[in-house]
Structures are given as structure tokens and as C-alpha cells.
Structure 1
Amino acid sequence: MKTEESKRAVMVGIFVLIAIIIFVVGVLTLGGQQKRFISSITVKTLFDDVEGLKVGNNVWYSGVKIGTVKAIDFYGDSQVEVVMNIEESAQRFIRQNAKARISSESLIGNKIIEIFGGTPAAEPIEDGDVLASEANLNTDDIMKTLQENNKNLATITSNFSVISDRLVKGEGTLGTLLTDSTLALNFQNLVASLEQTSVNTVKASRDLSRFTNQLNTEGSLASELLTDTTVFNRLQASMAQLQQATESAAQMTQNLQQTSQKLNNENNAVGVLLSDEEFANTLKQTMQNLETSTQKFDENMEALQSNILLRGFFKKRDKAEKERMEEAEEAGQEPEQQNQ
């Protein structure tokens, strides 16, 4: 009996020891998951709605678990204060201007707190700091939005069904285009015309490009006019001279017109000579009389030279003229003849 009792006591002791070991391992495992044995700091944040967040839920930063929710309490009139345990090893990565928001591990998973943002210029968080919070999109709001989108999609589908039915029946402009062969042919011709216009436009663009290239060709007249200031100044001076010559020609034309007007005027001598036939005849007769008088005067002079009384005078004059010519020949000079 004693031997059996001893065996029973040993078995019970063994089971108790195994139970204690399992308990200790379980405590250590749960403590490791909850990070109970890791040095941490306390950080707070305020939410208007925690959306079912519970104590013990995880805290994430950049997809890494860095702590747990330590406490959830009401704050003020309507806000909720959430106290978080943050690992000291992650403290240096989280800045004081970072924000916290409530999210989910999956679509139907547990709620978590996600810390995000922050700039390197800000200081790292300290124990007892309060982070700003950002409201998360509520699931109910998402469902409402989805319901409204579904209604809009149903309306669009109904309208498209009506439009397609009208198109099949040939109603409206598009329906006519789909059913009327004549209109479709006209539309094809219009498209062909637009294509031809496009081809012509491209050709015109090429011609214009070619023309501009010629303008930019060095040594051409257009290039010289556009770039060489000397050629431009010469051309400008030539144009000024041409304009001056045009003005002079216009002035000359005006003077000729005035002269012709004076010639046609009978109040001056030239006008009388050109237009008065009677005066012209009188002047012609006067000239004839002068010629006749001159001829008679010559005859009278010859008669005087033959006259005995004046013959000595003319001889003396001829003798003096002859002596003067001989003196001039002796002096090596050409004799000057005087008409008297």
C-alpha cells in the first residue's frame, strides 16, 4: 500500500510540476505578446470616437508593433483619452508632431492605433507627451457612400438602357447616324473633307517652314534684310532718295502744268504768239518788212561807197585796216577781223 501511495504522490507531483511549467510558459508567452516585460514610456492622445478600441489592443508605427493600449478613459465632455505604452526602443523614431488614428488590423480584425507622420526637425517624444489625433473614416460612412454609389450606378445603368434603346430605334442624332445610310455617307464625306483639309494644312505648314528656312539662309537677300543693318540702312537711304525723286518729279509735273496753263493763257506774250493767229500774221509781216529794209539798207551802203564824196572816207578806212593786219602778222598774232 505504501508503495502504491508513493507512486501516486510522485505522479501527482509530476503533473503539478508540468502544470506549473505550462503556466509559467503561458505567462511568459502572453507577457511577450503584450510586451509586459519591455521598458516603455506612456504617451496619450484624445479621440472623439474610439470605434470599439479596447485595452490591450496594439499600437503600430510604420507597420511595426511598438506598444499596446494601456487605458481608455473619458476626457472632458465628449472626448476619450487613450493611454499607450510605447517601447523605449521606438521612442527615438516617433516625433512630437506625429499624429495618431484608429485603424484595423484587417477588414474585420481588431482595432489598433496607428501612429504616423512627424518631421525630422521635431524632437522625439517623451514620457507623458500628448499626440495629436486624426479622425478616421468610419465604416458606417463607408457603407453609406457605397450605397449612394450603388444608387448612382443603378441610375446610370437605367439611363444607358434608355439611350441604347433609342439608338436601336433610330431616334435622335446618334440613332439617325446609325440607321440613315444617306446621313452616314454625308458624314463619311465630311470626314474625308476634314482629312483633305488636314493634309492641306500639313502641306502649308511644310511650305511655311521651308520659306522660313530660306529666310534664315545666310547670304540671301531676305536674310541680309533681316540681319545685316548695313544693307537695311542702304535700302532705307535708297527709299528716302526714291521718295525725294518722286517728290521732285511731282513738283516738276506741277510746274509744267502751271507753264502749260500760262502758255494757253492769251493774256501773256507767249500765249498770244501760240494762240492769236492774227497777231502771228502781223508779226510775220513785220519780220518780212525788216528783212526787206535790211536788204535795201545794204544796197544803199554800197551806193554810198560808190559815191564820189564818200569814196575817200572808205578808202582811208580800208587802208588803216590793212596796216593793222600787217602789224599783227609781224607780231605773230592772228589778225582780228571786226565786222562793222
Structure 2
Amino acid sequence: MSTGSNRPTVIVGIFVFLAIVILVAGIFMLAGQQKRLISTIEVSAVFDDVAGLKTGNNVWFSGVKIGTIKSISFVGDSQVKVTMRIEESAQQYIRENSIARISSESFIGNKNIVIEGGTMEASPVEDGDQILAINPLNTDDLMDTLQKNNKNLVAITSDFKVITSRLVQGEGTIGAILTDTAMADNFRAMVANMQRASREAAEASNELSRFTTKLNNPSGLANQIATDTVVYSRLKTSMAQLKEATTSASAMMQNLQEVSAKLDNENNAVGVLLSDEEFARQLQTTMRNLETSTQKFDENMEALQNNFLLRGFFRKQAKREAEERLQKDLEQQQQDEQ
């Protein structure tokens, strides 16, 4: 009797024990998910709009869950302060210049906070620090912008439809190009000319490059003129001398012109010599007479030298001339020895 009557009590006790075990396990599981049993620090951020963020939502860093939202409270006029529990193991990776932004697990999923940025030069955050917050995009504004974009897209599509229909009908310049074979040929010829001009421009650019390379050659004249002051000075002097020579040549040419003008004038002796044929014939006759007289004078002198009356005179004159030449030779020899 006693054994049978205690059996329901034992069964109830077993179920109660199992329920307590399940409850405790659930509590530990929830506490583990909420980071209740892990050492944490508190970090806050102030947002203008939290976009539906709730207490208990997750905090992520580099794709890893590092904490949860502890509390959400109003500060100031309309701002919202979000306090986060962060695992101490992740504290060293979060810097004072890190930023917090609100994100979503999916397009319509739960909101969460993502911490990102920060540099190694900044110090790690401490318990109670506040980091910079970036306000999330407003979904209503996003939808309004999307609707405006849709309207603009519809208008653009309509305009593009009208344009394409006109092109097909051959309206406008582009339509004429697409439908008129003659214009298309002209356009192809123009493109070919542009390509040829482009090739010629490229060749000219290459030639100019080669020319400038030659100019930059240290042994070249252009480089020496541009860099060597001595060469430049010499060139400047040469140019000045060339200018003087040009001036002198111009003056000489002017003088020659004046002389030639005077030579053409029959009022002077040279002009008469050049232009008067009668005078030229008389001058030639006079020159022939002078040549004949000179020849006869030489013959007379030779006859006088052979004359016995004047032979002694000429011998004394020849002897005196020989002595004078000998004296000059001795003086020259003495000067050479000194």
C-alpha cells in the first residue's frame, strides 16, 4: 500500500527535478547569450535616431559578437544614449577613436550596433568611455529617395523611347547618319581622316621627342649654348663681329655703287676711259708709241755703254755699285752675328 501510494509522488518529483534542470540550463544559456556571466565593460554612444534599436540587441566588431545593448535613454533635447556591454577580451581592440553605427542583421531584421575604425595610435577604451556615433540612414527618407529615383527612371525611359523611335525614323543628325548611307560614308571618311591626323600627330610628336633628345645631348651645340656660358659668350661675340662685318659690307656695297655711278659718268677721267671709244683708241696708240720709244731708248743706252768715250764712266759706276752692295752685305752679316 505504501509503495503504491508513493509512486506518483516520486514521478512528480522526477518531473519537477527535470524542470528545474531545464530551467537552470535555460537561464545559463540566456545568460551566456546576454553576456551576463562574462566580465564586461560599459561603453556608450549618443545617436540622433536609433532606428528601432532595442535593449538586448547585439554589438558586433569585425563580424564578431562582442557584447549587447544594456540600456537606451534620452539625453539632451532629442538625442538617445545607448549603453553597451563589451567583453573585456575585446577591449584592447576597440580604440578611443572608433565609431559606432547602427546596422541591421538583414533588410527587415533586428537592429544592432557595429563598432569599426580606430587606429593603433589611439588608446583602448576604458569602462565608461563614450565613442563617436554615426547616425543611421532614415528608412522613410531612403524610400522617398527611392521613389523619386523610380520616377526619374520612368521619365528617362520614356525620353529614351522617344529618342530611339526618332532615330529609327531617321530624324535628327544621328538618325540621318544611321539611315543615310551617303552621310554614313562621309562620317567614315571623316573618322579615317581623324585617325590619319592622329597618326601624323603621333609621328610629329615622336620627331619632336627625338629632336629634343638631340638638343639635350651634352655634346651638342644647342645644349652648350643653353648651358655653357663660355660658348654663349663666344657666340655672342661672333654675332657682334658678324653684325659689324655685315655693316661694313653694306657700306662697301654703297661705296661700290657710288664708284660705279661715277664710272658711268663721262665727265671724269675714269668714265672717259671706260665709255669714250675714241679716247681709248688714242690711249692705245700712245701706249704703243711709249713702248716703241722705251725700246729705242734701251738700244741707245746700250750703244752709249759700248762707246769708248763713255765706257770708263759706266765701269766706274758699276764698280761703285758693287762696293756699295759688298758694304751692305758686311753690315748685314755683322748684325746677324750680334
Q: TM-score, normalised by structure 1?
A: 0.71
Please name the residue that 1:21 is paired with. 21
Amino acid at match of 1:256: L
1:32 is the counterpart of 2:32: yes
1:128 matched residue in structure 2 = 128
Matches within 5 A, 1:178-189: 178-189=178-189
Partner residue, 2:3: 3
| Structure whose alpha-carbon radius of gyration is higher | 1
Distance in 1 (alpha carbons) for counterparts of 2:109 and 2:319: 155
CA distance in 2, matches of 1:120, 1:268: 109
Question: Deviation string for 1:15-68 (max 9, x for gaps)?
Answer: 111111111111111111111101111222211112111111111112111111
What are the ranges of 5 or more consecutive residues in structure 1 without an aligned counterpart?
295-317, 335-340
Q: Distance in 1 between matches of 2:202 and 2:35?
A: 74
Aligned pairs for 1:1-340 (under 5 A) are 1-198=1-198, 200-201=200-201, 208=207, 212=211, 225-226=221-222, 247-262=247-262, 319=309, 321-325=310-314
Query: What SS does structure 1 have at the residue aligned with 2:131?
Result: strand
Mapped to 1, the partners of 2:128 and 2:195 lie a distance apart of 74
Q: Deviations over 1:55-93 (max 9, x none)?
A: 111111121111111111221221122221111111111
Amino acid at match of 1:255: N
Q: CA deviation at 1:156?
A: 0.7
| Residue in structure 1 matched with residue 331 of structure 2 by the alignment | none
Whole-Å separation in 1 of the counterparts to 2:16 and 2:169: 87
Q: Is the 2:49–2:136 Cα contact (8 Å) retained in structure 1?
A: no
Q: 3-state DSSP class of the match of 1:130?
A: coil
AA partner of residue 117 (structure 2): G
Change over 3 Å in CA distance of 1:327–1:33 after alignment to 2:
closer
SS of the residue 1:54 aligns to: coil
- Matches of 1:123 and 1:155, distance apart in 2: 53
Shift of 1:113: 1.4
Residue 253 of structure 1, CA deviation? 3.4
Instruction: Please say which of residues 28-37 and 238-247 is displaced more in the overlay.
Output: 238-247
User: Greater shift after overlay, 240-249 or 53-62?
Assistant: 240-249
Long gaps (5+) in structure 2: 294-307, 324-338
Query: CA, structure 1 residues 123+253, in 2 after alignment: closer, same or farther (shift >3 Å)?
Result: closer
Q: Is the 8 A contact 2:51 2:136 kept in 1?
A: no
Rounded to whole Å, the distance in 2 between the matches of 1:205 and 1:21 is 88
1:144 and 1:238 mapped to 2: Cα distance?
82
Q: Is the 8 A contact 2:40 2:86 kept in 1?
A: yes
Per-residue deviation, 1:170 = 1.5
Q: 1:83 to 1:251 in 2, by over 3 A?
A: closer
Amino acid at match of 1:104: S
| One-letter amino acid matched to 2:177 | L
Which amino acid in the other structure matches residue 151 of structure 1? K
The CA RMSD over aligned residues, in Å, is 4.2
Deviation at 1:99, TM superposition (A): 1.8
After superposition, give the CA deviation of every residue in 1:116-158 in whole Å (9 maximum; x if it has no partner).
2222122211111122211111222221221111111101100
C-alpha distance in structure 1 between counterparts of 2:42 and 2:204, whole Å = 77
- The one-letter code of the counterpart of 2:94 is I
Q: Cα distance 1:43–1:242, how it changes in 2: closer, same or farther (>3 A)? A: closer
1:101 match: secondary structure: strand
Change (3 A) 1:263 1:89: closer
The CA deviation at 1:228 is: 7.0
Rate the CA distance shift 1:197–1:125 in 2: closer, same or farther, 3 A.
closer
Quote the residue 1:315 is aligned against.
Answer: none
| C-alpha distance in structure 2 between counterparts of 1:128 and 1:195, whole Å | 69
Structure 1 position 6, deviation (Å): 1.6
CA distance in 1, matches of 2:93, 2:222: 67
Aligned length: 297
Task: Find the counterpart in structure 1 of residue 303 from structure 2.
Answer: none
Paired-residue identity, %: 54
2:50 and 2:136 in contact (8 A); partners too: no
In structure 2, relative to structure 1, the CA distance for the partners of 1:242 and 1:108 (3 Å cut) is closer
Cα distance in 2 for residues equivalent to 1:102 and 1:56: 14
Using the alignment, how far apart are the partners of 2:236 and 2:79 within structure 1? Answer: 86
- Which is further off, 171-180 or 263-272? 263-272
Instruction: State the shift of 1:160 in Å.
Output: 0.6
Letter paired with 2:106: S
